[in-house]
Amino acid sequence: MGLSVLDGVALAFFSAAWVAYYLMVEKTPTGRRSLNMVMNAHRHGWMQQMLARDNRIMDANINSSLQNGTAFFASTSLIAVGGVLTLLRSTDDVMNFFADMPFGLATTRAAWEIKVLGLAVIFVYAFYKFAWSYRLFNYAAILLGAVPPVGYSDQHETEAAVERAGLMNVVAGLHFNRGQRAFFFALAYLGWFISAYVFMASTAACLFVMWRRQFASDALAALENSHE
């Protein structure tokens, strides 16, 4: 026997929350006021400031630190995938453990395996996002190096090079944020191993935390106050 109706409802709620958050942050006018979007403006501002510097070692180091961060998360994603798959080797023990928890509900082997594989899919998705972000930051470093030096005669070409470097940095950050979003939702997904009710509650809590981080955090307040 596979998933119950309640499990299906919880999974649908989880999927809808993920899609709704993605649309709100990336596809709606409201998302333009998010922390990510505000930082994207600063990424472009960074490229403009870089243009005025003869020595751009600092800019290369900043880009390298961003790239290294994505490498860390990509490797962490692979470790998480390996850890999740090992759960399939000890299904009986783990099922008994969760069944003994205060809010745990009995589950079948098929349902357990579906849940584990679903968690693996989330971490695989995160890995691809972080790995692609790593590659894009590599492209951003190349575009940064291709920006003409101070005093270059063709202003139009210089502005185009700065715009390309800034946009590539924004896209790299976009995919990094999507990978990190998958990590947050993976934490919410863990609630499903206890019960469908906990799954829905953890999803709602995760959604609130991420919304607050993007639209009502002290980090966003710091950026907004800097313009006053």
Give the DSSP per-residue string, 96-123. HHHHTSTT-----HHHHHHHHHHHHHHH
State pTM to two decimals.
Answer: 0.90
| Tens digit of each residue's pLDDT (9 = 90 or more) over 17-54 | 999 999 999 999 999 999 999 999 999 999 999 988 88
Q: Can you give the pLDDT at residue 195?
A: 85
- Mean pLDDT over the full length of the chain: 90
- What region, left, alpha or beta, does residue 3 occupy, with left being phi > 0 and alpha being psi -120 to 50 degrees? beta
Q: Can you give the pLDDT at residue 103?
A: 55
Q: Which two tokens stand for residue 30?
A: 């409201």
Quick one: average pLDDT of 181-186? 97
Residues comprising the chain, all counted: 228
Q: Can you give the pLDDT at residue 224?
A: 83
| 178/122 Cα distance (integer angstroms) | 11
pLDDT value at 90 more than 80: no
Q: Which residue has the tokens 């609130």?
A: 208
Instruction: Select from 159, 179, 141, 148 the least CA-distant residue to 59.
Output: 141
What confidence tier does 3 reach under pLDDT thresholds 50, 70, 90?
A: confident
Q: Can you give the pLDDT at residue 199?
A: 95
| Tens digit of each residue's pLDDT (9 = 90 or more) over 112-171 | 888 999 999 999 999 999 999 999 999 999 999 999 987 777 889 999 999 999 999 999
What confidence tier does 102 reach under pLDDT thresholds 50, 70, 90?
A: low
Instruction: Select from 63, 52, 12 the least CA-distant residue to 170.
Output: 63
| Tens digit of each residue's pLDDT (9 = 90 or more) over 191-216 | 998 889 999 999 999 999 999 999 99
CA 202 to chain centre: 18
Neighbouring C-alpha atoms within 13 Å toward the C-beta of 98: 21
Q: Can you give the pLDDT at residue 206?
A: 96
| 98/24 Cα distance (integer angstroms) | 34
Q: Can you give the pLDDT at residue 194?
A: 83
In the chain, where the domains are located: 5-24+35-218
